[in-house]
Amino acid sequence: MSEAREEFVSEAEDLLRETEDGLLDLQETLSKGCNPDVLNGVFRSIHTLKGLSGLFGQRGILDLSHAMETMLDELRLGQRELTEATIAFLLKNLDILKKLLGEIFKEGKELTSVDAALEEIGKFRDEGKGREKEVKNEPGCLTGIPEEITKVLSEYEEHRLRTALKKELCLVTVEAEFELVSFEEDLKGLIEKINQLGELIATIPKTLGVLPGRIGFDLLVALNTSLSKAKEALKLWSVNELVPSPPEPETTSSILPAVNIPTKPGEEIIQEPLLKSGSSTVRVDIGKIDAILDTVGELMLAKGAVSRIGAEISETFGFGPFSVDLQKVSRILEKRLEELQNQILEIRMVPVRQVFSRLNRVVRRYTRDKGKEIDLQLFGGETEVDKLMAEEIIDPLMHMMRNAIDHGIEPAEERLAAGKPVTGVITLKAFPKGNHVVFQLTDDGYGIQPEKVLAKAREKKLIAENQTLDHDGIVKLIFLPGFSTASSVNDVSGRGVGMDVVKEKVSSLGGFIDVETEPGCKTTFTVTIPITLAIIKAVLVSTAGETMAVPMASTSETLSIEPDMIQHIEGKEVIELRGKMLPIVRLAEMFWLYHDRPRERYFVVVVGFGGRRIGLLVDSLLGQQEIVVKPLGERLEKIKGISGAAEIGKYKVILVLDVESLMEEAMLSSQTIKADSDGLGA
């Protein structure tokens, strides 16, 4: 793809995403009135897209975005009313734009014709014509506003001003002056304050009466609080009243749904960035960052060589000034490299809000299709996670969301019968936890019925007829491969549709998943994934001559044991750990590695969490190290028990264990043994 086209697609993609987010936001808050800032943002995105596609000669996108822009312009100028149907219509056309962009990306040119869409927009506009809300340029409306302000207002700003006047809001100008070099930050702070008090209509820079090296602004604001409150909040600046509002300011805010929409508790507060701080950001291909990370990885190896040579020099020639210097330098090098690595990792971080907004859209569509009323509540959008992780986690989360909508939340009549509110609530919370990010998805639906799960597992012969499990054990059966078949929708126990797939995906990301449920009440899935794919702390172990890495995140402790501490219970090897049985697995055996002779001492790496823990038996521990985990690539992804590889020392590549899948394998094999012996007994 040519660079220009790549640039075009990338910029257009961003604009479409902004448009989509804006439209969804409008859709969500429409019942409380139309948020003019968001609407204007949508208009701006489409406007920019139009300009962009025109310059790039993409006729279809140009025509369609032009038509949409005209519609949006009418909407934002109040010449047409924003309705649910209008938003849906715009979203539909947005999809066409996306399709066209996809064609340009894949085929190099637009394939779909936009004629039909244009015609539809024309029709849609004609139908709405009768309902025009505002006649352009109502005379006499701008009394009281000085001419030096009105003459610089754009059509849109003027419209906002007229609207404010019509609502009889108190209009003020806020005069502010800043150092020229740093005014953007300071002004941003002021604008944030102003947004709490009302609507910022225009930001007018002024030259007169300002000292050199400084810059002044007049900010035109329509207050929806009282003037005295605004003066109090902005006491550092001078606030001048232009048009007073009529008395009884108390009721003003309640009849003003359009401005500063109150957010429900728990609802994601999406701040419309008034100040697009685009000036200090760049868009970078993630591949380029990966390349830098790789280079740093190689630098790390080179640094290792430097310190090794340093050590050899002092060994051979004793401690001289040179060797001491060399060691000092190599320590500095090490520290700086670590900093560099962390900084690069930081660049890759994105807020999970990006994930949320994509989920939000799909969920809303899906919910509409299913005819269920669902209130999706999202928390912790600011939590940061590696870009790649964010991309990878969307699918599993989506899968779980669909499950919650399909099988979690009951149909309306059942909910009423159970004394629950008709609207089901699904909450998704994200929060950081050490080096991990936790996603918690809760629905207030059926919960998982253990009896039904158990019956289904037996029916599918996933467990032995007479095997007993505790509540948690039963619920976790939904993660077993083969448990779920997307049978029928009304099959209540069909909750686990594809949960094994979700689990596998999460585990391939180095994470784990857990479920808790209160039957009849709620179900919570907890997905924990590392913040970043790239660098992890690991315990290096050696067994049968092979060196391998066990991620620290899944390791709770390491033990040194003698062979006679291993006991045999029900054909399994266990050791006693603080009064409890810990099943152990010989890593060499599990991996079919050749073991030469029994040893006098073994080491055990305890992995897993809570009640689900096993010990990995290895020959020796080689210490802890930070490693850069590389994926094995698609050709090797089928290999079980290994999650990736890492380079250590002198071009040596070691394998990184996939603890989750090893544990599963260990549990499964012990289950089969048990099931077999049970079978023999019967």
Partner 1 sequence: MKSILIVEDSAMTRAMIRTALENIDDCEVEIIEVESGFEALRILPSREFRLILTDINMPDINGLELINFVKSNPTYRNIPLIIVTTECREEDRNRGMALGAFAYITKPFEPEALQKLVQKALEE
Partner 2 sequence: MSEDQPVLGSQPSAFFSEADEDYEYEEYEEEGGSSCEKIKILVFRIGDEDYAVRMTDLQEILKMHEITTIPRAPRHLMGITSLRGKVIPVIDPRIRLKVETVDSSEPRIIVLSGEGCPVGIKVDRITGMFMIKPEEIMPSLNTLTDEESRFIDSVVRVEHRFVSILNLDAILEI
User: In the complex, which residues of this chain contact partner 1 (CB under 8 A)?
Assistant: 7-8, 11, 44, 47-48, 50-52, 54-57, 62, 66, 69-70, 73, 151-155, 157, 180-181, 183-184, 187, 202-208, 215, 273-276, 278-279
Q: Which of 617, 652, 682, 656 is nearest to 535 (CA)?
A: 656
Nearer to partner 2 (CB atom), residue 167 or residue 630:
630
Query: Residue 632 touches which of partner 1, partner 2, none (CB < 5 to 8 A by kind)?
Result: partner 2
Q: How far is the CB of 177 from partner 1 (least distance, A)?
A: 13
230: left (phi over 0), alpha (psi -120 to 50) or beta: alpha
Q: Which is nearer to partner 2, 239 or 539 (CB)?
A: 539
Question: What CA–CA distance (Å, rounded) separates 170 from 198?
Answer: 10
Query: What are the C-alpha distances in Å from 536 to residues 170, 369, 526, 551?
Result: 57, 42, 21, 7
Residues contacting 379, CB < 8 A, separation 6+: 266, 268, 427, 428, 429, 430, 431
Structure tokens at 350: 């994105």
Is residue 591 within the footprint of partner 2 (CB under 8 A)?
yes
Task: Give 630's DSSP letter.
Answer: B
Q: Does 633 bind partner 2 (CB under 8 A)?
A: yes
CA 154 to chain centroid: 37
| Of residues 638-657, those binding partner 2 (CB under 8 A) | 639-642, 644-645, 647, 650-655
Q: Which does 180 bind (CB under 5 to 8 A by kind): partner 1, partner 2, none?
A: partner 1
- When CB distances are held under 5 to 8 angstroms depending on the partner's kind, the choice from partner 1, partner 2, none that residue 591 binds is partner 2
47 contact choice in partner 1, partner 2, none (CB below 5 to 8 Å, kind-dependent): partner 1
**Helix and strand totals (H; E) in the chain:** 19, 22
Report in angstroms how near the CB of residue 59 gets to partner 1 at its nearest: 11
Site string for partner 2, 299-338 (x = CB under 8 A): ----------------------------------------
Stretch of residues binding partner 2 (CB under 8 A), selected from 9-17, 292-300, 398-406, 418-426: 292-300
The least distance separating partner 1 from the CB of residue 140, rounded to whole angstroms, comes to 19
When asked if residue 615 is in the footprint of partner 2 (CB under 8 A), the reply is: no
Min dist. Cβ of residue 51 to partner 1 (A): 5
Q: Give the shortest CB-201-to-partner 1 separation in angstroms.
A: 11
Q: Check residue 286 for interaction with partner 2 (CB under 8 A).
A: no
Provide the minimum distance between the beta carbon of 257 and partner 1 in the complex, in angstroms, as a whole number: 24
| By CB under 8 A, residue 636 contacts partner 2 | yes
- Determine which residue in the list 6, 84, 115, 294 makes contact with partner 2, applying CB under 8 A: 294
Residue 231 to residue 225: CA distance in whole angstroms: 10
Are the C-beta atoms of 660 and 614 separated by less than 8 Å? Answer: no
CA–CA distances in Å: residue 663 to residues 194, 316, 342, 437: 56, 47, 31, 22
> Which partner, partner 1, partner 2, none, binds residue 633 by CB below 5 to 8 Å per kind?
partner 2
Whole-number Å distance between alpha carbons of 503 and 399: 11
- Shortest Å, Cβ 587 to partner 2: 9
| Residues 190, 358: Cα–Cα separation, whole Å | 31
The answer to whether residues 268 and 381 touch, using CB atoms and an 8 Å cutoff, is yes
DSSP labels, 74-131: HHHTTSS---HHHHHHHHHHHHHHHHHHHHHHHHSS--S--HHHHHHHHHHHHHHGGG
d(CA 535, CA 488): 43
Of residues 154 and 271, the one with the C-beta less far from partner 1: 154
Q: Under the criterion CB under 8 A, does residue 596 sit at the interface with partner 2? A: no
Select 118 or 632, whichever has its Cβ closest to partner 2: 632
Closest by CA to 42, choosing from 21, 67, 66, is 21
At 421, give phi and psi (nearest 5°): -60, 150
From partner 1, partner 2, none, interface partner of 50 (C-beta below 5 to 8 A by class): partner 1
Residue ranges in contact with partner 2 by CB under 8 A = 294-295, 297-298, 546, 591-593, 630-636, 639-642, 644-645, 647, 650-655
